[in-house]
Amino acid sequence: MADRKPRTEQAYIAWARARVNQWLGNQGVPPDIGLSLEQINSADALVTQLETRYTNMVNLRTSAETATGQKDASLAETDSYLAGMIDIIDGYAKSTGNPEVYALAGIAAPKKSSARTEAPVPTDPRTIVTPGGNVVFRFSVVTGGGAVYPVQRRAITLEGFNGPWVDMGFATTLKSFTDNNAQAGVAGYAYRAATRLTNGVQSEWSDWGVANLGAVPEQMEEAVAKAKAEPDEPQAEAARAS
């Protein structure tokens, strides 16, 4: 049986506007469906308020996403430039043999390198779905220099069928990955990341960051719980070990 009301917010608002317009009838004369004109006018006011607030929310979300992107770009540019300056300081300290260089620069001397046998697992996975339909996946992890962060994605359906983990590339040094290929028609996607050190050692995969692409939140929570109860596919485990 078809749903009487759409499940996603955007579709619901369009549906509500169409219904109220239909119930208002021609020249303010509602159809004979048991509703009074006063009731329909009240519904019209509520839908108008909802449309306005939804539009405001979308505009604010777009502004916030734009500001976040600008901040991330500025942070990456600044970090890259300062990292180059620190490399110069390191070279100068090494060439002069002066132990006071780092104190004068206000930075700690580099630690002596040693072989690492474990990589930290990324934590705090989270996602943002942009108004344009892209998914931004972020996580937190503290590593030494040179580490990279492979990212995988799997599709989640409300019926309990979940696609295989697919390699999506690598997150930035700011622990952020933007998925520009999120497809419509999928209830959501799960993302996970790992830490891979310069010596090839890779951590376990992180917990999931789930992007809901329009499902009812309670249904998505149930679908994710079912998906986590399933064992990973052999190819996913092989990818992790590579």
Q: Are residues 144 and 215 in the same domain?
A: yes
In single-letter form, the type of residue at position 89 comes to I
pLDDT tens digits for 179-188? 998 876 788 8
Q: Across residues 27-47, what is the average pLDDT?
A: 89
pLDDT tens digits for 141-152? 988 778 899 999
Task: Tell whether the model's pLDDT for residue 238 goes beyond 50.
Answer: no
Q: Is residue 25 in some structural domain? A: yes
Q: Are residues 129 and 236 in the same domain?
A: yes
Q: What percent of the chain has pLDDT over 90?
A: 40
Q: Are residues 83 and 165 in the same domain?
A: no
Q: Are residues 58 and 91 in the same domain?
A: yes
Residue at which a domain ends, from 52, 80, 110: 110
DSSP state string for 62-99: HHHHHHHHHHHHHHHHHHHHHHHHHHHHHHHHHHH--T
Q: What is the pLDDT of residue 241?
A: 43
Q: Is residue 117 in some structural domain? A: no
Q: Is residue 118 in some structural domain? A: no
Q: What is the pLDDT of residue 118?
A: 87
Residue at which a domain ends, from 59, 77, 110: 110
Task: Tell whether the model's pLDDT for residue 233 goes beyond 70.
Answer: no
Q: Is residue 189 in some structural domain? A: yes
Residue 220 neighbours by CB distance under 10 Å = 19
Q: What is the pLDDT of residue 240?
A: 41
Measured in degrees and rounded to the nearest 5, phi and psi for residue 40 equal: -65, -40
Q: Is residue 145 in some structural domain? A: yes
Q: How many domains does the chain have?
A: 2
Q: Is residue 2 in some structural domain? A: no
Token pair of 160, please?
């309990």
Q: Sheet harboring 176-179: ordered strands across?
A: 123-129, 135-140, 176-179
Contacts of residue 144, defined as CB under 8 A and 6 or more positions apart, other chains included, come to 116, 197
Q: Are residues 49 and 141 in the same domain?
A: no
Q: Is residue 160 in some structural domain? A: yes
Q: Are residues 226 and 133 in the same domain?
A: yes
Q: Are residues 105 and 145 in the same domain?
A: no
pLDDT tens digits for 66-121? 888 888 888 888 888 888 898 899 889 989 999 899 899 999 888 765 567 789 99
Note down the domain range covering 172. 123-241
Report the range of poorest mean pLDDT among 13-27, 56-70, 79-93, 219-233: 219-233
More confident residue, 232 or 67: 67
